[in-house]
């Protein structure tokens, strides 16, 4: 069976550094941090009191009251980004066969805020009033519901589901979408991820694991991947979406093509529920699998959008894995962690980084890893590698590999390349 070629024809983004793709990309190139004091709840008693929140998002401007009652914030973010990508791709066309357009959308946690509200109400009043749960509790909370809402709104009746693999969830969704399109089971799939976990249970839970930065005195510089003084990740939120489409289908309708999806890989660390393998074994395997699937040599990759969360152990294991996979070529590539600006969007991270990777190919610019200070080095990290510290760099980019690693040892990497007819 001959596999179809798959291209990117639409992009959408709602992130801590921009409420659309253009603004997000502009701020990423300029090295703007999305971090600031938490506004979603009173965090004065929490160890971490800052995050990378979405700004100026008013649900009432996008959803009527009836619709808003059925949506957790994460699903609102998902619909917003997906609608941008669908509009960008001009996919909402009645002349298209909507039986062959699908939606695969990720969330690592899903409706955490809804769960927190409902469980909290029952804890306070349940013994007196009995179990008075909101009838929308379950459909608002479940992590697959964003895909359902997107398909319902646009009447897309193709493959439809959500993916959950912690912080690798979005890349898993992208790879699933890529595979279904290249196998001919859909003409196009709207894919990506969304997350909205900056609430007491999310922040408190990650604080208890000592996973979050506690740099409360200077939030904007707290996410500092690959720097010696890094002390944990900065939680982010938002959503991003891409339309993946079969090449001939896209050409036949005159769609704009941003890039081609070259391949994807998955693996497991099989090591620990939260810590990456110290030698990066799972990370090595996932990058090798992605390259093999794409039929590409390591020397063909120009830029890696790193998982790079700014955690003490994770950054080291990813650096080790890159040197093992790419050898001498590792020193010729650009590497950067855009989480230094967006924070860690958890289940939406891979989608946001995929959008930035595609834009990097289109504009020939590598966004920076911000917040690195001269001399703030980790003796276990090789600074001869080009981490694109603090300032974006121009270069011709033919191919980008984007890494995501999640709790449970889930790894997913995807490769985008410049489209050539």
pLDDT in tens, 271-297: 999 889 988 999 999 999 999 999 999
Distance of CA 246 to the CA centre of its chain: 22
**From CA 341, how far away is CA 372, in angstroms rounded?**
12
Is residue 35 a contact partner of residue 219, using CB atoms and an 8 Å limit? yes
What is the structure's pLDDT at 131? Answer: 76
**From CA 83, how far away is CA 367, in angstroms rounded?**
25
Q: Half-sphere exposure of 240 toward its Cβ, with a 13 Å CA cutoff?
A: 35
What is the structure's pLDDT at 120? Answer: 79
| Closest to 55 (Cα-Cα) out of 13, 11, 18 | 18
**C-alpha angle 224/365/250, rounded to 5°?**
120
What is the structure's pLDDT at 134? Answer: 84
Q: Which two tokens stand for residue 31?
A: 């090295």
**From CA 103, how far away is CA 244, in angstroms rounded?**
10
Tokens 């971490």 found at: 48
74 in helix, strand or coil? helix
| Closest to 13 (Cα-Cα) out of 96, 88, 65 | 88
What is the structure's pLDDT at 80? Answer: 98
Q: Which two tokens stand for residue 243?
A: 């339309």
In order, the DSSP letters of 134-196 are -TTHHHHH-TTHHHHHHHHHHT--S-EEEE-BTBTHHHHHHHHHHHHHHTTS-SEEEEEEEE-
Is residue 201 a contact partner of residue 279, using CB atoms and an 8 Å limit? no
Tens-of-pLDDT digits for all 421 residues of the chain? 799 999 999 999 999 999 999 999 999 999 999 999 999 999 999 999 999 999 999 999 999 998 989 999 999 999 999 999 999 999 999 999 999 999 999 999 999 999 998 887 776 776 777 777 888 999 999 999 999 999 999 999 999 999 999 999 999 999 999 999 999 999 999 999 999 999 999 999 999 999 999 999 999 999 999 999 999 999 999 999 999 999 999 999 999 999 999 999 999 999 999 889 988 999 999 999 999 999 999 999 999 999 999 999 999 999 999 999 999 999 999 999 999 999 999 999 999 999 999 999 999 999 999 999 999 999 999 999 999 999 999 999 999 999 999 999 999 999 999 999 8
**DSSP summary character for residue 15:** B
Say if strands 410-417 and 334-336 run parallel, antiparallel, or are unpaired: unpaired
Say if strands 50-51 and 36-37 run parallel, antiparallel, or are unpaired: antiparallel
**DSSP summary character for residue 336:** E
Radius of gyration of the chain from its Cα atoms, rounded to whole angstroms: 20
As annotated, the active-site residues are 167, 307, 344
Tokens 């070529």 found at: 329
| Closest to 373 (Cα-Cα) out of 412, 409, 340 | 340
Is residue 414 a contact partner of residue 175, using CB atoms and an 8 Å limit? yes
**C-alpha angle 332/333/336, rounded to 5°?**
140
What is the structure's pLDDT at 224? Answer: 98
**From CA 195, how far away is CA 163, in angstroms rounded?**
12
Crossing angle for the helix pair 145-154 and 73-89, nearest 10 degrees?
Answer: 40
């Amino acid at each position: 069976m001959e596999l179809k070629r798959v291209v990117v024809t639409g992009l959408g983004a709602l992130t801590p550094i921009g409420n659309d793709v253009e603004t997000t990309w502009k701020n990423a190139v300029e090295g703007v941090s999305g971090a600031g004091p938490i506004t979603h709840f009173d965090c004065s008693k929490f160890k971490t009191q800052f995050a990378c929140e979405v700004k100026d998002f008013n649900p009432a401007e996008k959803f009527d009251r009836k619709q808003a009652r059925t949506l957790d914030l994460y699903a609102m973010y998902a619909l917003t980004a997906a609608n941008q990508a669908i509009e960008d791709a001009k996919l909402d066309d009645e002349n298209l066969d909507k039986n062959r357009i699908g939606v695969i959308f990720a969330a690592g946690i899903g409706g955490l805020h809804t769960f927190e509200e409902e469980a909290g109400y029952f804890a306070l009043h349940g013994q007196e009033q009995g179990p008075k749960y909101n009838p929308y509790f379950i459909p608002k909370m479940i992590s697959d519901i964003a895909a359902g809402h997107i398909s319902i709104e646009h009447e897309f009746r193709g493959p439809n589901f959500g993916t959950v693999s912690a912080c690798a969830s979005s890349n898993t969704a992208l790879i699933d979408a890529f595979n279904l399109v290249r196998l001919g089971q859909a003409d196009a799939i709207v894919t990506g991820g969304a997350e909205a976990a900056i609430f007491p249970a999310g922040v408190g839970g990650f604080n208890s694991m000592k996973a979050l930065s506690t740099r409360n005195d200077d939030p904007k510089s707290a996410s500092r991947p690959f720097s010696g003084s890094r002390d944990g990740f900065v939680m982010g939120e938002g959503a991003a979406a891409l339309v993946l489409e079969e090449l001939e289908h896209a050409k036949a309708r005159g769609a704009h093509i941003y890039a081609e999806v070259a391949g994807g890989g998955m693996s497991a660390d099989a090591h620990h529920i939260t810590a990456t393998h110290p030698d990066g074994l799972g990370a090595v395997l996932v990058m090798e699998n992605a390259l093999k699937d794409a039929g590409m040599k390591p020397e063909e990759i120009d830029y890696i959008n790193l998982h790079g969360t700014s955690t003490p152990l994770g950054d080291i294991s990813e650096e080790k894995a890159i040197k093992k996979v790419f050898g001498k070529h590792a020193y010729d590539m650009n590497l950067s962690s855009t989480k230094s600006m967006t924070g860690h969007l958890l289940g939406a991270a891979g989608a946001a980084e995929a959008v930035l990777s595609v834009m990097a190919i289109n504009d020939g610019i590598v966004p920076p890893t911000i917040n690195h200070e001269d001399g703030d080095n980790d003796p276990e990290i090789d600074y001869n590698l080009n981490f694109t510290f603090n300032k974006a760099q121009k270069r011709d980019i033919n191919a980008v590999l984007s890494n995501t690693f999640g709790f449970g040892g889930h790894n997913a990497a995807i490769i985008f390349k410049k489209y050539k007819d």
